[in-house]
Amino acid sequence: MLKVDNIHTYYGNIQALKGISLDVEQGEIITLIGANGAGKSTTLMSISGVETPRSGSIIFDGQDITHKSSHEIVSMGVCQVPEGRHIFPQLTITENLDMGAYLRNDKDEVKKDLEYVMDLFPILAKRRHQSGGTLSGGEQQMLAISRALMARPRLLLLDEPSLGLAPLIVQQIFEIITRVNQEQGTTIFLVEQNANMALKIAHRGYVLQNGMIVKTDKASALMEDQEVRDAYLGV
């Protein structure tokens, strides 16, 4: 479904990605784990078209999206929940969710999806008229994921959904991610520092180090891998 082939992405003169290749199959949960600054967010931003790789290619559904602008990529069904959640602070919860469906014209279906995400995260229904900036970190993460779901993505990119959240909330959010994958068939590409949680729900995983993929395997195999255990699982 998604094929990233040898991309190099720079910030000015600093090379953040040094030839990343990976692929994601329909219906999978794929995780990309790595330390701070390894290039995880840059990988997602390159896929979403916010950053443009200097070389290499990104193919989605057989179409080259390497140089497409981000709104075109969203319209093809690739949506991202960026690191730090990026809630529109002065819009209400409902307005934030509406923004997620910005490109859609099928009002009735949007309404159904609104009910669906409110059902996934009942707290959002309770606070629907509050502005986004007043939510707690966990609620903002729930809103950010819901907003992305409002676009009915075929491929959902999640950037560190566990960042800065209490373990119980992280648990809840990861359960929802699995549920969305199973119920809606949404393909999920999950970037995480919390390798433990990520590998538990993922089918396959990639390990990123200094802008390069150093390892890839089934998630269960990565969990058993000695190097991965030492470096990322803290056991």
Partner 1 sequence: MNPDVKYFLQLVLSGLTKGSIYALIALGYTMVYGIIKLINFAHGEIYMIGAFTALIIGGVLQITTELSPLVILGISLVAAVFYSAAYGVTLEKIAYKPLRNAPRLTALISAIGMSLILQNFVLLAQTSDFLPFRSMIPDFSFLIPGKSLLTTTQLVIMVTTFVVMLFLTLLIKFTRMGKAMRATAQDKVMAQLVGIDINRVITFTFVIGSATAAIGGVLIANHTGQINFYIGFLAGIKAFVAAVLGGIGSIPGAVLGSFVLGMTESLGAGYISSAYDNAFAFLILILILIFKPSGLLGRNEVEKV
Cα–Cα distance list, 100 to 80, 94, 103, 185 (Å): 10, 10, 8, 19
Residue 141 Cβ, how far from partner 1 at the closest point, in Å?
14
Q: Which stretch binds partner 1 (CB under 8 A): 83-91, 110-118, 170-178, 224-232?
A: 83-91
Q: Which of 203, 196, 235 is nearest to 219 (CA)?
A: 203
For the window 90-109, what string marks contact with partner 1 as x by the rule CB under 8 A? xx---x--xxx-xx------
- Using the contact rule CB under 8 A, the part of the chain among 84-92, 176-184, 202-210, 225-233 near partner 1 is 84-92
223 token code pair = 């969990």
**By C-alpha distance, which of 77, 76, 6, 85 is closest to 46?**
6
Total of chain residues touching partner 1, rule CB under 8 A = 25
How many CB atoms are closer than 10 A to CB 158? 26
Measured at the CA of 44, the angle between CA 40 and CA 50, to 5 degrees, comes to 125
Contact region for partner 1 (CB under 8 A) — 13-21, 28-36, 66-74, 179-187?
A: 66-74
DSSP state of 229: I
Taking alpha carbons only, the member of 13, 115, 111 closest to residue 54 is 13
Residues 119-148 that bind partner 1 (CB under 8 A): 147
Q: Which of 114, 151, 176, 222 binds partner 1 (CB under 8 A)?
A: 151
Q: Based on CB atoms, which residue is closest to partner 1, 61 or 95?
A: 95
The yes or no reply on residue 114 touching partner 1 (CB under 8 A) is no
| CB 182, min distance to partner 1, A | 25
Integer Cα distance of 127 and 129 in angstroms: 6
| 37 is an interface residue for partner 1 by CB under 8 A | no
Distance from C-alpha of 69 to C-alpha of 11, rounded to nearest angstrom: 18
Residue 99 or 123 having the CB closest to partner 1: 99
Q: How far is the CB of 45 from partner 1 (least distance, A)?
A: 8
- Neighbouring C-alpha atoms within 13 Å toward the C-beta of 151: 25
Q: Is 79 in the site for partner 1 (CB under 8 A)?
A: yes
Residue 74 C-beta: closest distance to partner 1, Å: 4
Question: Nearest approach, Cβ of 189 to partner 1 (angstroms)?
Answer: 14
CA distances (Å), 181 to each of 31, 51, 175, 176, 190, in order? Answer: 13, 27, 10, 8, 12
Give the binding site for partner 1 (CB under 8 A): 48-50, 69-71, 74-75, 79-80, 82, 86-91, 95, 98-100, 102-103, 147, 151
